[in-house]
Structure 1
Amino acid sequence: MKIRGDQLSSTLARQSAPLYWLAGDEILLLREAADEVRRHWRQAGFTEREVFHVEQGFDWNDFLYQFDATSLFAEQKLLELRLYSAKLDAKGREAITAWLDKAPEDYRVLISGPRIDSSVLSAKWFKNLDDKLVLVQIWPIDRARLPAWLRQRLAAAGIQPDDDALQILTDRVEGNLLAAEQEIEKLALLADAEPGANKRLTGNDVLRLVSDSSRYDLGKLADAALKGDAERAQRVLGGLRAEGVFPLLILAVLTRELRQLLTILDQIDQGHEIGQAMSAARIWQSRKPIVSQALKRLTADKTQQMLEHCKLIDHSVKGLHRANPWDELSLLVLRICGERFCDYASLRAE
């Protein structure tokens, strides 16, 4: 059975399927749908939960063992399978099919993962399971539906936006609902709405509040660097420094991005397609174009060198190296942008 994300609540209320499969690339909607399924089964008595991260090399016997080892005194349990690819290998397909053939009463399964493409949906093994599971296809909120979605979220936060405010928010968060959620939380805090009363939000309010907070946005620094926009990246870094952001916070964001890039580059070097490698690394759909730009400029060796640079910056912040951490952060950002420098290691050697 296939349903849309907005049909999940009504389906849970009327149908007790043993397996729910959530598929989509919009992280926020996927997370909220998973929370709803967990809450439903918890209320039904499935109080225990075990999570399996299905990556390359995952041993499906660990999953199958759960219901092969049931006992008379076992508590009801929800098993979660978090997929890093929507295409299961042969052992994965066999394991899901075997579980649904038995469907033990004391167990329920929640699968969450990337969007399932037509090749999987049309596969014989998947069609054979159609009447045994509920597939929840979670689609991104497109531009046409985004204003209504934002208005609903703002209303839940006690904020009543005018048309200008809604338009500005729509322009700034399109394609990234996680950013939209963060902006709404921020607006709710900064708007100083009285408890129990709706706060009117104008376009000028949004411009003022979002513009002020954008100087603190570490994500914008990472995005500018990944895009190779050196001028903007340096401007954002300067703004973060002027606002007193601690250098280690900035370094943590850049280090995370570089580690993620290195993981993807290693996958590409092993023969995987770029899109497949990014999906396996759980790159948001809205960020894939940005990450792709960085992947075209960087190699695994260069990225590893930049991670070594991160260690130097960490030591400089902690007083273990004589380098200036802000100068080094500036150089690191330029290196991520693709700017060329001589060997920084030899220049900074103790």
Structure 2
Amino acid sequence: MHLAPAHLSEHLKRGLKSLYTLHGDEPLLVQEFADALRAAARLKGYTERTVHTVAGAHFDWSEALASGGSLSLFADKQIVEIRIPNGKPGKDGSAALQQLAERAQGDDSTLTLVLLPRLDGATLKAAWFGALDSFGVTVKFDPVDRRTLPQWIAQRLQLQGQRVAGGDEGQRTLQFFADRVEGNLLAAHQEIQKLALLYPVQGEGESRGVLSLAQVENAVLNVARYDVFKLAEAVLAGQAVRAARMIDGLQSEGESEVLVHWALAEDIRSLKRVKDALAAGRPMPMALRDNRVWGAKEKLYERVLPGLGDAALASLLDAAQKVDGIVKGLRQPDWPQDGWQALQRLAAMVCAQCAAPRAPSGHSPHRSAPTGSRG
């Protein structure tokens, strides 16, 4: 049974189940959901708790299996937590989890909680995960993306009685906040809590709990944690300022120039491959699937490709090849010799093409990529 995280309160009103599986790559959201489950369980008499962390291939699953069948003299009900940080229980673990899932049916004395990271498609189809899903409740935690992060921040502020000003100032405040904590939800949570301590809710009427842009700027640290794959999405969306900021962030975090170049160059090559497939008569969905383009990138490719000409793609491929040499120590005429500056220029070139106005239907524009350098 699948449960959306937002529906927890409604779910708990109908009573606790005996088995929950939480999986995703947002530790804060997983932690908060698990805390809510534990709190509800304590109210129902689950006073004892044991935690088993699966570390390595030689984990003794017999202890986890035994926990579910034994209660101390002082507890009527118990919570058994099984944490699998790498998401791979192994052969013995697979059998044990299936046994635990089946045993959970009708057992109201034990609440079993399985905590997992983000799982790939193959793992989601594994027999052990299927058993957990069939006999219990599974909850998937998706990352809070950049587009919805301002709204998430606003909701969290509202929970502690705070809000930003209305209109453009409020939107600028939320955008500033999101820029500083992008990709690091735990840090965002900490910064929101800090605002509650720095600016206690006071006053009356419309001004009560309102945070100004200056207050947020003074309080919020630059704690963004950038991801090379999110950078690729920003570039394909034509978000030049955001992409430049993300590259600066990756540099300051010590990320490899080669890896950042690979992420940018791979999308340029994929755009060319999909473009060639379309020219050969391949339908867009099949061309994208054949080239392993899915998820958020699908819509970005669908938006960009119709107006991206062959000359522009050729120019981007040439630029990517030159930057490949620069990040490996080679000099290129008319290009910055610093690898990060070259990456900034390459990203700006792709952004310019992806953000350019699309040509009317039926036309095949051939635009050349800009050659200007950032900074």
Please state which band the TM-score falls in when normalised by the shorter chain.
0.5 to 0.7
1:188 lines up with 2:230 in the alignment: no
Residue 203 to residue 17, structure 1, CA distance change in 2 (3 Å) = same
Q: 1:175 to 1:20 in 2, by over 3 A?
A: same
Residues 100 and 195 (structure 1 numbering): CA distance in 2 closer, same or farther, change over 3 Å? farther
Among 171, 176, 180, the alignment partner of 1:163 is: 171
> Quick one: distance in 2 between partners of 1:69 and 1:97?
19
Specify the code of the residue in structure 1 equivalent to 2:99.
A
Residue in structure 2 matched with residue 43 of structure 1 by the alignment:
43
Q: Is the Cα contact below 8 Å between 2:54 and 2:89 reproduced in 1?
A: no
Structure 1 counterpart of 2:208, from 171, 178, 198: 198
Secondary structure, aligned partner of 2:173: helix
Determine if contact 1:164/1:202 at 8 Å carries over to the other structure: no
Structure 1 pair 29–73 and aligned structure 2 pair: CA distance change class (3 A): closer
Tell me if structure 1 keeps the 8 A contact 2:61–2:93. Answer: yes
- Secondary structure of the residue that 1:55 maps to in structure 2? coil
Q: Deviations over 1:225-269 (max 9, x none)?
A: 75179xxxxxxxxxxxxxxxxxxxxxxxxxxxxxxxxxxxxxxxx
Which residue number in structure 2 is paired with residue 145 of structure 1?
Answer: 148
Does the alignment pair 1:52 with 2:52? yes
Does the CA contact (< 8 Å) of 2:79 and 2:110 recur in 1? yes
Asked whether 1:89 is paired with 2:90, we answer yes
Query: Residue 5 of structure 1 contacts residue 139 of structure 1 at CA under 8 Å; is this kept in 2?
Result: no
Q: Which runs of 5+ in 1 are unaligned?
A: 230-350
Mapped to 2, the partners of 1:128 and 1:64 lie a distance apart of: 15
Pair 1:111-2:114 in alignment: yes
Of the three residues 106, 120, 133, the one matched with 2:136 is 133
CA 1:95–1:163 in structure 2 vs 1: closer, same or farther (change >3 Å)? same
Q: How many residues align?
A: 223
In the superposition, relative to structure 1, how do residues 128 and 98 fare at CA in structure 2: closer, same or farther (>3 Å)? closer
Give runs of ≥4 in structure 1 deviating > 6 Å. Answer: 222-225
- The 1:140–1:49 alpha-carbon spacing in structure 2 relative to 1, beyond 3 Å, is same
Measured in 2, the distance between the counterparts of 1:176 and 1:90 equals: 34
Aligned to 2:67: 66
User: In the TM superposition, what is the alpha-carbon distance from 1:133 to its structure 2 partner?
Assistant: 0.9
Paired residue secondary structure (1:3): coil
**Counterpart of 2:122 in 1: which secondary structure?**
helix
Q: Secondary structure at the match of 2:46?
A: coil
- Cα distance in 2 for residues equivalent to 1:155 and 1:129: 35
Paired AA for residue 42 in structure 2:
R
Q: Structure 1's 12 and 87: CA in aligned 2 closer, same or farther, altered over 3 A? A: farther
| Higher alpha-carbon Rg | 2
- Bigger relative CO (Cα 8 Å, ≥ 6 apart): 1
Distance 2:179 2:253 in 1: 21
How far is 1:23 from its partner?
Answer: 0.5
Paired letter, 1:102: R
Q: Which residue of 2 aligns with 1:6?
A: 6
Distance 2:154 2:251 in 1: 29
Decide whether the 8 Å contact of 1:8 with 1:136 is kept in 2.
Answer: no
Identify if the C-alpha distance between structure 1 residues 160 and 125 changes in structure 2 by more than 3 Å, giving closer, same or farther.
closer
Whether 1:208 aligns to 2:208 is: no
CA RMSD of the aligned region, Å?
2.8
Superposed CA deviations along residues 289-317 of structure 1, whole A, max 9, x for unmatched, are xxxxxxxxxxxxxxxxxxxxxxxxxxxxx
User: Could you say if the C-alpha distance between residues 203 and 80 of structure 1 is closer, same or farther in structure 2, counting changes exceeding 3 Å?
Assistant: same
Superposed CA deviations along residues 89-125 of structure 1, whole A, max 9, x for unmatched, are 1111111221232234321101112012211222234
State the distance in 1 between where 2:94 and 2:53 align.
Answer: 16
Q: Separation in 1 of the partners of 2:123 and 2:11?
A: 23
Return 69-78 or 14-23, whichever deviates more: 69-78
Q: Which residue of 1 aligns with 2:181?
A: 173
SS in 1 for 2:3: strand
TM-score (norm 1): 0.57
Would the aligned equivalents of 1:60 and 1:95 in 2 still touch at CA under 8 Å? yes
Structure 2 length as normaliser, TM-score? 0.54
Q: Percent identity?
A: 37
